[in-house]
Structure 1
Amino acid sequence: MCPDGSSSPQATSGPIDHLVIVGNGMAGQRLVESLVRRNGAPRRITLIGEEPCPAYNRILLSPLLAGEMEREDLTLRDADWYVEHGVELVLGERVETIDRVARRLTTTSGREIDYDRLVLATGSRPAMPPIPGLELDGVHAFRDLDDAAALTRRAENGGRAVVIGGGLLGLEAAEGLRKRGMTVSIIQRDDRLMNRQLDVTAADLLERELAGRGLEIVTGAQLDHLEDNGRGHVTAALLADGRRLPAECVVVAIGIAPNVALARTAGLDVNRAVVVDALLTSSDPAIHALGECCEFAGQTYGLVEPIWRQVEVLAARLAGENAGDDAQARYVEKPCATKLKVSGVSLYAFGAIEAEDGHEVLTYHDPEHGDYRRLLLRNGRLEGAVLYGDTAAGPWYFEQSLAGRDLSACRQALLFGQADAKALLDDTTSKTPHHQDSSPQEEAA
């Protein structure tokens, strides 16, 4: 990898003969779909997935658990699609070793596959805290179809469940189990739900909504251990302060850990994840990494938006559409917005969560209707937003923030959303002589 992280030497010249992608998750599947539409794509593509079924939409696992969707609704492409596009699909096998000198993979079945270029899209696994009792029957993660199916079976007879983690995934799992008929408690170590995305007011509104549905929210809680019923099955979660939460089912949803064992065994540079440059190339120029298993400039990934941008960069690279010297062809970090996938809860947030020195704080709160908006501006530019209830203006706020637009002209209407704010901005622009129209950045230059 080049010292500046901007480019890597070419592993081969000319079109790629055989591309192998390890990982048939959402990232690997999107890469394949992007490649088959391009001229100059690799002549052969082999896609290897450890799960026995073709790629599916993991984002929809929450509504699947809640009974709002059917299993077939999650499938991205059926087996016929791969045949039609000349993609060899290998399912139910895990890649065990990579011989980088011979450029050859070996799977759990003993299958050997040669490659000219390799993409690791091995995703992630649930992060597990060092808590005694995690090995007990009745303790689950919530990461794949098998997890969703197991939780659905557990919920058939009702009973009590404890979800460890009050972030996005934990709340979605808890609501899904509640809708399946279980009594659910959520343990959150921080003092509020979704502490990485929400301020105190929005988190309080969310907690009230979920508590009103019957979920028990326990914040500021430290899990000590899970209790065994004497027959190897979980029966309760014990907190550090002595509280005991009965549970026949426990879901661990505290985050994810990149799957890097294969890359590490192969001798690639690995930190928290597989280290890549701005062209998604690892320390071996013939091997790329993509999605949740990769790390760029110290960042790892768990949201689809940056991963989709990675896909476009890598697809263009693999199809020979750029030589890597074009800045537009490189991956760059951009802010992402957060939305919660719980039916009946509208939430949208991005950027800074807590106000800092120099921030102007604009707030609107209508407790009666459950609407809340808080905007953080610096020198007229939007740096963070939290919206709860009416989130229609969220994407427009996010667009203005990404553009770095000076919103001073519409400050008084900014909290009322796009229509009122945009009208003031357009009016200001129309009254400003063209030769005087310059942004603060342009004036500084």
Structure 2
Amino acid sequence: MNKKKLVLVGNGMAGVRAIEEILNIAPEMFEITIFGSEPHPNYNRILLSKVLQGDTDVNDITLNDWDWYRSNNITLYTGETIIRVDTSKKEVISDIGRVEPYDELILATGSVPFILPLPGADKCGVTAFRDISDTDKMLEASKKYNKAAVIGGGLLGLEAARGLLNLGMDVSVIHIAPYLMERQLDETAGKMLKKELEKQGMKFLLEKYTEEILGSDRVEGLSFKDGTTLETDLVVMAVGIKPNIQLAKDSGIEVNRGIIVNDYLQTNKANIYSVGECAEHNGIPYGLVAPLYEQGKVLARHICEVETESYKGSILSTQLKISGVEVFSAGDFTEEKDKKALKVFDDQEGIYKKLVFRGNHIVGAVLFGDSQEGNRLFSMIKKEADVSDTAKVSILQPLGQSNGESLVASMSPDEIICGCNGVSKETIVEAIQGQGCTSVDQIKACTSASRSCGGCKPLITDLLHDSLGGDFDESAQKEPICSCTTLSRDEVVEEIRLKGLTHVKEVMFVLGWASDEGCSKCRPAINYYLGMVSPTQYKDERESRYVNERMHANIQKDGTYSVVPRMYGGVTNANDLRKIADAVDKYEIPLVKVTGGQRIDLLGVKKEDLPKVWNDLDMPSGSAYGKSLRTVKTCVGEQFCRFGTQDSIGVGIALEKKFEGLQTPHKVKMAVSACPRSCAESGFKDIGFIGIDGGWEIYVGGNGGTHVREGDLLYKVKTDEELMEITGAYLQYYRETAHYLERTSAWVDRVGFAHIQSVLNDKVKREALNARMNEALSVYKDPWKEIIKNNQTKKELFENIVRS
């Protein structure tokens, strides 16, 4: 049977979720093509705040990695925007001129952030908080500047402010309302929230109307209508979103505030649907994930020609959980006309609970300080539960509290556990009893519960405990390396050692991986662990590495690449500089920048030019993309500086050459300073060296990133040989005991600085670590210097890597 051509415009959460539902219903019905404007696979926009706060990495918020698209035979075009729909020819046209026909079309163009039309809004340093690009701008700004202003005291604005606080910035939140989150909270809860966030260091300017953004080229401050001003280096606009309807409007599809859809998410044009934040149903565009997923289910069943209930609209709930502050609201919580409120306020414990009733039906709720009842109350609101036979005050008391029964045990089967994904208690119990799920991650894989914000994980754990009883395994709740397995990092490494496993696929097969191909989290980790355990026997599987490592360049947001040749210790020469200049001219590379690691970065290289650029440079790669030694920054040292006490350049070059190409759990940066003035900033590197009279001080665990950490003084040594010995042992112990993608700063805090010192103080252990380090270093070959054995030219070698 010929498959229908289904095109999805928009690679975000709502659209791709609809595709997932379609694949579950009729996996062979459509030939699917997806267009996404961002250069990323589908990721969890809800968790961007956690990336900004430093709790996680962009890779960790990916919902569907590149392999998911391939395994489902989906054609994905990233970094490409559809600019027109020809509804008569049934074609979409992209901004690069690509024409794609469709039988069915889904518009999931999402929303765009509302930018206040203020004078100065176009200045450098003004950003929204909507996508990975915005997050990157804020992270970069935090490295150079001190003060940030967030305009908007709603959910997104407060999450942005919390993240900027974590980055060490002085943060002020400007809000036009008299209290925070006025759309989701009442005045009492809003003021309690302000009080709690002020304790964390956040500043607030309420009932303030911003008049102008001050500064010349870059923002320097804000002025307000009351005549006051505020100094700031960064302005984050978080004042709301609006449906992205431009494509639909330009293509003759009916729009209002959003793209108008019926109860089956159909637009006024045949064979065209719309879903997500861009869609308007019964006059309402929704901006929260739960209703968008509800829309996706209805759309999927209808487009697959399966009988389904129509979409009737959604009741909304909101949850904020930052730094221990729990806030929840749902339904209509305003007190007016025919509604009455029941309130419980514990000022001493900082707890406030409010229920709003219309007659004998609960229609709204606000919880502050303790939100564990949120899902149950939300379920009661959605079901319009009749509470006429219940003492209303008892609704605010945890069910089962009097008889010791757990909250989940007292919940009815149809109550929702995961509000974001609409997963009920009975669905999770079926996954436990019918599909053998025994951990939160297995529940997530089977049901999608906890896949979005993750706030329901404690309830799922309680439900596992309640359902499994004596068979509940606390150890099964440990952190597995990914959702493909229940095994932790230590268990996987131990199994590799014990069973002599040598290939990624072999590890997955022998250890019972849930997916034959694994995922983007576990494949790179297994590849690293195999190489770490048996460096001389293991052959690196390039296809199991992240795309930047396979391309030997860093992909940029516009789809071009950044190329960084290696410069040992930051030292270069005229010949290398000429080669760089020639390559820049020849390939019209738009930006050449000196990096913080004392190297030269060539930004804006086209993908097809990568092999030729590397070939012309004829220089080793600086591994700016690698989980390996990146740079060794140096000062000029005793040879030139009147304060220098040691040869920092010589030691820096020796370190970089010795540990070049060493694969590590995460990137490693070093710095060598010839005296305590530490001009190379040695105290904030993974390993830093500071020259003193008669030797060196070695500092470890430093970090200048999202979690600033000053390095700890590990050793004082007298000779360069001792320096190399301690460094080698330290790095090898990090390689052998850290989790994949765990920076040295986090590793030192986790395993304990005193413990690391005790290991390195043991001469026998130190020598053994260095022996294993030398074994690992012995297998390294620079891919740009080695001509592979089948007589490929360098150019052919590079082209094969690019194709892979």
TM bracket, shorter-chain basis: 0.7 to 0.9
- 2:205 is equivalent to residue 242 of structure 1: no
Give deviations 1:187-234, integer Å, cap 9, x for gaps. Answer: 111111000111111111100011111111111111111111x3x111
Q: 2:39, 2:24 → 1: CA distance?
A: 26
Q: Counterpart in 2 of 1:419? A: 400
- 2:226 is equivalent to residue 226 of structure 1: no
Give deviations 1:157-208, integer Å, cap 9, x for gaps. Answer: 3411100000000000011001100001101111110001111111111000
Q: Counterpart in 2 of 1:210? A: 197
- 2:271 is equivalent to residue 291 of structure 1: no
For the structure 1 residues 421 and 410, does the alpha-carbon distance in structure 2 shift closer, same or farther, using more than 3 Å as the test? farther
- 2:184 is equivalent to residue 197 of structure 1: yes
Q: Counterpart in 2 of 1:406? A: 386
Q: 1:335, 1:139 → 2: CA distance?
A: 34
Q: Is the CA contact 2:333–2:355 (under 8 Å) kept in the aligned structure 1?
A: no
Q: Counterpart in 1 of 2:346? A: 366
Q: Is the CA contact 1:363–1:415 (under 8 Å) kept in the aligned structure 2?
A: no
Q: How does 1:26-425 map to 2 (within 5 A)?
A: 26-39=13-26, 42-228=29-215, 230=216, 232-322=217-307, 328-408=308-388, 409-419=390-400
Q: 1:210, 1:284 → 2: CA distance?
A: 48
Q: Counterpart in 1 of 2:749? A: none
RMSD (Å) for aligned C-alpha atoms: 1.8
Q: 1:33, 1:215 → 2: CA distance?
A: 40
Q: Is the CA contact 1:48–1:90 (under 8 Å) kept in the aligned structure 2?
A: yes
Query: What is the CA distance between 1:40 and its match in structure 2?
Result: 6.8
For the structure 1 residues 96 and 382, does the alpha-carbon distance in structure 2 shift closer, same or farther, using more than 3 Å as the test? same
Report the secondary structure of 1:47's partner residue. Answer: strand
Q: TM-score, normalised by structure 2?
A: 0.49
Aligned residues: 404
Query: What is the CA distance between 1:413 and its match in structure 2?
Result: 1.7
Query: What is the CA distance between 1:421 and its match in structure 2?
Result: 9.8
Query: What is the CA distance between 1:420 and its match in structure 2?
Result: 5.7
Query: What is the CA distance between 1:359 and its match in structure 2?
Result: 2.5
Give deviations 1:11-31, integer Å, cap 9, x for gaps. Answer: xxx986100000001112111
Give deviations 1:114-172, integer Å, cap 9, x for gaps. Answer: 11111100101101122111100000110000110110011123411100000000000
Q: Is the CA contact 1:98–1:105 (under 8 Å) kept in the aligned structure 2?
A: yes
Report the secondary structure of 1:227's partner residue. Answer: strand
Q: 1:131, 1:75 → 2: CA distance?
A: 34
Q: 1:194, 1:342 → 2: CA distance?
A: 14
Q: 1:284, 1:277 → 2: CA distance?
A: 11
Q: Is the CA contact 2:342–2:393 (under 8 Å) kept in the aligned structure 1?
A: no
Q: 2:103, 2:146 → 1: CA distance?
A: 53
Q: 1:277, 1:24 → 2: CA distance?
A: 22
Give deviations 1:347-388, integer Å, cap 9, x for gaps. Answer: 111122321133332111111111110111122211111100
Q: Counterpart in 2 of 1:432? A: none
Q: Is the CA contact 1:158–1:180 (under 8 Å) kept in the aligned structure 2?
A: no
For the structure 1 residues 179 and 158, does the alpha-carbon distance in structure 2 shift closer, same or farther, using more than 3 Å as the test? farther
Report the secondary structure of 1:46's partner residue. Answer: strand
Amino acid at match of 2:147: R
Q: 2:7, 2:107 → 1: CA distance?
A: 9
Amino acid at match of 1:166: G
Q: 2:25, 2:54 → 1: CA distance?
A: 38
Q: Counterpart in 2 of 1:430? A: none
Q: 1:161, 1:291 → 2: CA distance?
A: 31
Q: 2:256, 2:141 → 1: CA distance?
A: 37
Q: 1:356, 1:20 → 2: CA distance?
A: 46
For the structure 1 residues 420 and 23, does the alpha-carbon distance in structure 2 shift closer, same or farther, using more than 3 Å as the test? same
Q: Is the CA contact 1:396–1:418 (under 8 Å) kept in the aligned structure 2?
A: no
Q: Is the CA contact 1:66–1:176 (under 8 Å) kept in the aligned structure 2?
A: yes
Runs of 4+ in 1 over 4 A off after TM superposition: 420-423
Q: 1:404, 1:29 → 2: CA distance?
A: 31
Q: Is the CA contact 1:41–1:319 (under 8 Å) kept in the aligned structure 2?
A: no
Q: 1:102, 1:357 → 2: CA distance?
A: 53
Q: Is the CA contact 1:57–1:75 (under 8 Å) kept in the aligned structure 2?
A: yes
Q: What percent of counterpart residues are identical?
A: 37
Give deviations 1:39-96, integer Å, cap 9, x for gaps. Answer: 3753301011111111100000001001011111111122111111111111111112
Deviates more, 1:360-369 or 1:264-273: 360-369
Amino acid at match of 2:229: R
Q: 1:43, 1:252 → 2: CA distance?
A: 40
Q: Is the CA contact 1:16–1:117 (under 8 Å) kept in the aligned structure 2?
A: no
Q: Is the CA contact 1:46–1:89 (under 8 Å) kept in the aligned structure 2?
A: yes
Q: 1:92, 1:57 → 2: CA distance?
A: 17
Q: Is the CA contact 2:145–2:233 (under 8 Å) kept in the aligned structure 1?
A: no
Amino acid at match of 1:388: F
Report the secondary structure of 1:340's partner residue. Answer: strand
Q: 1:165, 1:196 → 2: CA distance?
A: 12
Q: Is the CA contact 1:164–1:252 (under 8 Å) kept in the aligned structure 2?
A: yes
Q: TM-score, normalised by structure 1?
A: 0.88
Higher helix proportion (structure 1 or 2) = 2
Q: 1:37, 1:15 → 2: CA distance?
A: 19
Report the secondary structure of 1:156's partner residue. Answer: helix
Report the secondary structure of 2:63's partner residue. Answer: coil
Q: Counterpart in 1 of 2:680? A: none
Query: What is the CA distance between 1:259 and its match in structure 2?
Result: 1.0
Amino acid at match of 2:336: E
Q: 1:63, 1:99 → 2: CA distance?
A: 40
Report the secondary structure of 2:336's partner residue. Answer: coil
The answer for unaligned runs of 5 or more in structure 2 is 406-804
Report the secondary structure of 1:110's partner residue. Answer: coil
Q: 1:223, 1:252 → 2: CA distance?
A: 11
Report the secondary structure of 1:316's partner residue. Answer: helix
Q: Is the CA contact 1:169–1:253 (under 8 Å) kept in the aligned structure 2?
A: yes
Report the secondary structure of 1:113's partner residue. Answer: strand
For the structure 1 residues 300 and 421, does the alpha-carbon distance in structure 2 shift closer, same or farther, using more than 3 Å as the test? farther
Q: 2:48, 2:27 → 1: CA distance?
A: 35
Amino acid at match of 2:345: H
Query: What is the CA distance between 1:238 and its match in structure 2?
Result: 0.8
Task: Give the greater-gyration-radius structure (CA).
Answer: 2
